[in-house]
């Protein structure tokens, strides 16, 4: 729902064309009607599959541009149409502004904090052999690239004798083939490996959970914080809808497609050790 203008015009336009064709008996417009139906089907697929990333709705614009162009020309002459267009335009601009602020902060602060964390953890592994590392709240299947990035970058930073593990069950909707020859245990199988005293836990912006730092501090010992920049929350329609779904109980805590980390925080990294 990062494209309120697209969704608004397409679905209101679909209802308008259904009304005009089946109630008012207007002539069927092959180009317009096929385009509005195709756009609506694509957008409904994203809703049903719960694919909410920024790039997913873009293919719908292939058909939706025809729909948007038609209704912009038609509705701008009607009072209700103009109010509707102004309304969704304001929502679109506001939503985009909130997203811009968050992603600007994310891509400005997170890489710096990531590099600082890698430097600390690599030094830690050099001084503490057989280090076992957990990425808190990061699923090994849906966020496989996070584990790969951490592992490869740690090797680049000269980390020694470490292993990546997970104490989370793999989301059953993601197929992940086990690889007994993988570098790290997290990819060798889908087993849940409980944390033990002395294991390292890293809190990252890629967690799918809403983390309570006070609760974490009771279980873990804080070793390092990479806190460059500000923890800017992700606000907007998508965050609002996620919050509503969680409040209504429609999504579960184990749901990895709809991340429980509504506001995309923290942008800082925390390195902790299990007590």
CB atoms under 10 Å from CB of 226, counted, come to 24
- Among the listed residues 133, 127, 181, the one whose alpha carbon sits nearest the alpha carbon of residue 153: 133
Residue bearing the bigger pLDDT, 259 or 11: 11
In the chain, where the domains are located = 4-77, 108-274
| Single pTM value for the model | 0.80
* pLDDT tens per residue, range 142-191: 788 999 999 999 999 999 999 999 998 886 666 667 777 889 999 988 88
The reported pLDDT for the residue numbered 172 is 65
Which pairs with CB-CB distance under 8 Å and at least 24 residues apart come from 91-100?
91/4, 91/5, 91/8, 91/237, 92/3, 92/4, 92/5, 94/236, 95/2, 95/4, 95/236, 95/237, 98/234, 98/235, 98/236, 99/2, 99/54, 99/234, 99/236
Task: Give the residue-averaged pLDDT of 34-46.
Answer: 90
Task: Give the residue-averaged pLDDT of 119-135.
Answer: 96
The reported pLDDT for the residue numbered 191 is 86
pLDDT exceeds cutoff 50 at 115: yes
Give me the percent of the chain exceeding a pLDDT of 70. 91
Residue bearing the bigger pLDDT, 49 or 34: 34
Q: Is the previous residue joined to 221 through a cis bond, with omega within 30 degrees of 0? A: no
Task: Give the residue-averaged pLDDT of 257-265.
Answer: 75
Structure tokens at 270: 């925390």
The reported pLDDT for the residue numbered 256 is 45
The reported pLDDT for the residue numbered 259 is 65
Structure tokens at 256: 């990895």
């Amino acid at each position: 729902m990062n494209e309120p203008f697209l969704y608004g015009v397409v679905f209101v336009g679909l209802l308008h064309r259904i009304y005009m064709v089946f109630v008012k008996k207007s002539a069927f417009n092959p180009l317009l009607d096929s385009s509005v139906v195709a756009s609506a089907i694509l957008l409904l697929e994203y809703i049903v599959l719960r694919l909410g990333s920024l790039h997913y709705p873009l293919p719908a614009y292939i058909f939706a541009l025809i729909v948007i162009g038609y209704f912009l020309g038609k509705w701008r002459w009607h009072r209700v149409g103009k109010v509707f267009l102004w309304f969704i335009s304001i929502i679109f601009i506001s939503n985009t502004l909130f997203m811009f602020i968050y992603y600007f902060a994310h891509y400005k602060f997170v890489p710096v904090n990531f590099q600082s964390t890698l430097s600390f953890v690599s030094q830690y592994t050099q001084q503490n052999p057989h280090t076992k590392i957990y990425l808190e709240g990061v699923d090994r299947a849906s966020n496989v690239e996070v584990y790969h990035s951490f592992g490869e970058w740690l090797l680049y930073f000269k980390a020694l004798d470490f292993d990546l593990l997970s104490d989370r069950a793999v989301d059953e909707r993601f197929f992940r083939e086990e690889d007994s020859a993988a570098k790290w245990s997290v990819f060798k199988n889908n087993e849940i490996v409980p944390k033990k005293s002395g294991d390292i836990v890293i809190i990252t912006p890629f967690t799918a959970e809403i983390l309570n730092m006070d609760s974490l501090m009771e279980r873990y010992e804080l070793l390092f914080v990479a806190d460059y920049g500000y923890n800017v929350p992700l606000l907007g329609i998508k965050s609002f809808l996620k919050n509503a779904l969680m409040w209504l109980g429609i999504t579960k805590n184990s749901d990895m497609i709809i991340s429980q980390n509504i506001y995309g925080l923290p942008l800082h990294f925390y390195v902790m050790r299990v007590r």
